[in-house]
Homo-oligomer: A and B are copies of this chain.
Amino acid sequence: MAMVGGGTGAFIGKVHRAAVQLVGGVELVAGAFSSRPDRSREDGARLGLAPERSYASWRDMLDGERARPEGERVDFVSICTPPDLHFEVAKACLDAGFHVMCEKPLTRTAAEAEELCACARRAKRVFGIMHPYVGYPLVKLARDLVARGELGRVAKAVVVYPQGSFRRIDWTKPLTPRQQWQRDPRRQGISCCMGDIGVHAANILEYVTGLKIRKLLSDMSRFTGGALDDDGAAFLRLEKGAHGLLLASKVSTGEANPLRIHVYGEKKSLFWRQDEPDLLTVSSPFAPMETWSRGSAYVAAASAAAARATRLPAGHPEGFIEAFANNYRNFCDTIRAKRERRKPTALELDFPGIGEGVRGMRFVEAMVASSRRGNVWMPI
């Protein structure tokens, strides 16, 4: 494994590294962690890389790794840079023959996303995009309960993702680098809040319901100034006549990271929230509410995917790093299947890939366009 971006000062790079450590059998051996060559190398040294694989730039890295004998070069590259580099770096990785795990949003525009998708298919490389929330075992259980018809026909889904991060900013001081690029359209793309977290909300909604968003009508807001949205909501129409509501925000003062999803079927409903990830509740008008607990035998019996994604018995909390690791594990198993020239199983393929990345960008563009054109319905 190699990494581009995600240096020792970055939050998300650390999580990627911790996650692959939990997977086992994967090791970070190469990287280009910063756009500044000296800093990139320093970070590589700090992370224990061999000096010759601690590269000054991602281009050097691709050249360097490709030049190594087969079996001694990295299998895949994790891209943890700001969004503006995703397209170029990912394309180069694919062209160089590497599998790719990419941070979201996939690109700055849907057109770029489509092109990257075509590129990945041509290159026949495995491509993952990091939506960690669908890596949680009980999100997989939720999806399996819906798919099996436990809820009856899905009528409605409500997903909310209210963060308060922009309310922690002290505007009298310089922004951090991360805050800077998140608020800069040249780096972040056409949407801040939707590109950063709205895509997670859309992704988990489609994952759990098994239904694609067909069209949406959005209301995007800018509370903290700047060129990009920091808050928004949308009415949704999903496949099979289901409706939806989605909210994402970076100005919900005092909120940490409480992504929540409600799915209402005609017979039952389910609820999951990211800050209590080990629990899933199932409600019915005619029976007590059920709280399913990760690590229990009855969860394993109901969902092979949840069982596979579980490390610890019930009552021993698992968290965000484990969810990340579950995506990585399936991504790596799919790479291994490719190497072994066998078809990956459905369980191995259970991680967000280039298709989800493209959908995410279409979602972002539709959100922005709907608001810009005066809150009109936009197809995805």
Identify the A interface with B (CB < 8 A): 11, 14-15, 17-18, 21-22, 24-25, 48, 151-152, 155-156, 158, 160, 162-164, 167-168, 217, 219, 221, 223, 231, 233, 235, 243, 245, 247, 249, 251-258, 262, 264-269, 274-278, 282-293, 295-298, 311-322, 375-377
Q: Which of B252, B277, B282 contacts A288 (CB 8 A)?
A: B282
Q: Please, which residues of chain B bring their CB within 8 A of the CB of A296?
A: 256, 288
B264 touches A252 (CB 8 A): yes
Give Cα distance in the complex from A295 to B288, angstroms. 11
Q: Which of B22, B262, B278 contacts A22 (CB 8 A)?
A: B22
B293 touches A266 (CB 8 A): no
B288 touches A290 (CB 8 A): yes
Q: Which of B217, B283, B292, B316 contacts A255 (CB 8 A)?
A: B283
Q: Please, which residues of chain B bring their CB within 8 A of the CB of A163?
A: 315
- Known A48-B25, A291-B289, A375-B217; judge A313-B257 contact (CB<8 A): yes
Q: Please, which residues of chain B bring their CB within 8 A of the CB of A292?
A: 288
A166 — nearest CB in chain B belongs to which residue? B285
Give Cα distance in the complex from A296 to B283, angstroms. 12
The smallest beta-carbon distance between A161 and chain B, in angstroms, is 11
- Known A247-B245, A253-B264; judge A316-B322 contact (CB<8 A): no
Q: Please, which residues of chain B bring their CB within 8 A of the CB of A267?
A: 167, 253
Q: Please, which residues of chain B bring their CB within 8 A of the CB of A152?
A: 253
A256 touches B318 (CB 8 A): no
Number of copies: 4
Give Cα distance in the complex from A297 to B221, angstroms. 27
A243 — nearest CB in chain B belongs to which residue? B221
Q: Please, which residues of chain B bring their CB within 8 A of the CB of A151?
A: 253
B315 touches A256 (CB 8 A): yes
Q: Which of B231, B245, B275, B286 contacts A297 (CB 8 A)?
A: B286
Q: 5 new A-B pairs (CB below 8 Å) besides A156-B251, A256-B295, A318-B321?
A: A15-B311, A253-B266, A253-B284, A288-B292, A312-B321
Give Cα distance in the complex from A22 to B21, angstroms. 6
Task: Pick the 4 closest A-B CB pairs, nearest first.
Answer: A256-B315, A254-B283, A257-B315, A317-B319
Give Cα distance in the complex from A143 to B295, angstroms. 30
Give Cα distance in the complex from A163 to B315, angstroms. 9
Give Cα distance in the complex from A253 to B266, angstroms. 7
B256 touches A313 (CB 8 A): yes
Give Cα distance in the complex from A376 to B376, angstroms. 8
Give Cα distance in the complex from A155 to B277, angstroms. 29
A252 — nearest CB in chain B belongs to which residue? B264
Interface centre among A221, A247, A288 (most CB of B within 10 A): A288
Q: Please, which residues of chain B bring their CB within 8 A of the CB of A156?
A: 221, 223, 231, 249, 251-252
What are 26 A-B residue pairs whose CB atoms fall within 8 Å in the complex? A25-B48, A155-B223, A155-B251, A162-B262, A164-B269, A167-B267, A168-B286, A217-B375, A219-B235, A253-B264, A253-B265, A253-B283, A254-B269, A256-B293, A256-B314, A257-B316, A276-B317, A286-B297, A289-B291, A290-B290, A312-B319, A312-B320, A317-B318, A317-B319, A319-B322, A321-B321
